[in-house]
Amino acid sequence: MFRKTRPTARVGALALGAFAALALVACGGGDSNNDATAAPTQAAGGDATTVQVTLGAPSELELEAAPASVPAGAVTFEVENAGALLHELVVIKSDQAVADLPAANAAADLSALDVAGDATDIQPGASDTLKVDLEAGTYILLCNIPGHYMSMNTTFTVE
C-alpha cells in the first residue's frame, strides 16, 4: 500500500529547500578584501574616505588598516575589535618610528604627541567609528592599551 502525502507537506518541503538554497547563495562568494593596498572608498555622500581597521586579528596583538594611504581631508576609520581583549585606536601625526615615541607606563605618552583622534575602550567583538580631518603627512595608527602599542601599530600616509 502506498502512503499519500499531503500537498501542503510537499509545498512546505519545497519552500524550505528553496529558502536554504537562497541562504547559501546570499552567504557565499563574498570577497573579503583586507589588502592594505586596496583603493580608498568614499563614504556615503562622498565626503569622507573610509579606512577599515581591524584590531586583534589575525593574532591578538595585531592591527591592520586598509588602505594604508588616503587623500588629505575627511577620513572615517571603521574600527573592529576582532580580538579577545580590550583595544583602542589612536591616530598620531608623526614621522618618528614607533620605537622612538615617548613612552610611559608601557604605553605611548600621548601628552607629548600630536594626536589627531582616538576611539577608546573598544570591547571584544565590538566596533566603533572615528571621524577625523587629516592633513597630508605621515601618521601612526596604534592601540595604546598598556603593553600593546609596540606590537599593535602601523604607519599610515595621508597624501
The pLDDT tens digits for 66-105 are 999 999 999 999 999 999 999 999 999 999 999 999 999 9
Q: pLDDT at position 118, please?
A: 98
* Contact criterion met (CB below 8 Å) for 78 and 41: no
Q: What is the pLDDT of residues 105-158, one digit of tens each?
A: 999 999 999 999 999 999 999 999 999 999 999 999 999 999 999 999 999 999
CA dihedral for 54, 108, 118, 48, sign (positive or negative): negative
Question: Residue 16 pLDDT more than 70?
Answer: no
pLDDT classification of 21: cutoffs 50, 70, 90: very low
Q: Pull the grid cell for residue 129.
A: 567609528
d(CA 95, CA 91): 13
d(CA 158, CA 136): 5
* Contact criterion met (CB below 8 Å) for 88 and 144: yes
Hey, which residues does 131 pair with through a beta bridge?
76
Q: What is the pLDDT of residues 37-50, one digit of tens each?
A: 344 444 444 578 99
Hey, which residues does 108 pair with through a beta bridge?
103
Give the type of residue at 110: L
Which homologous superfamily does the CATH classification assign to the domain defined by 41-158?
Answer: Cupredoxins -  blue copper proteins (2.60.40.420)
Q: pLDDT at position 48, please?
A: 86
Q: What is the mean pLDDT of residues 54-67?
A: 97
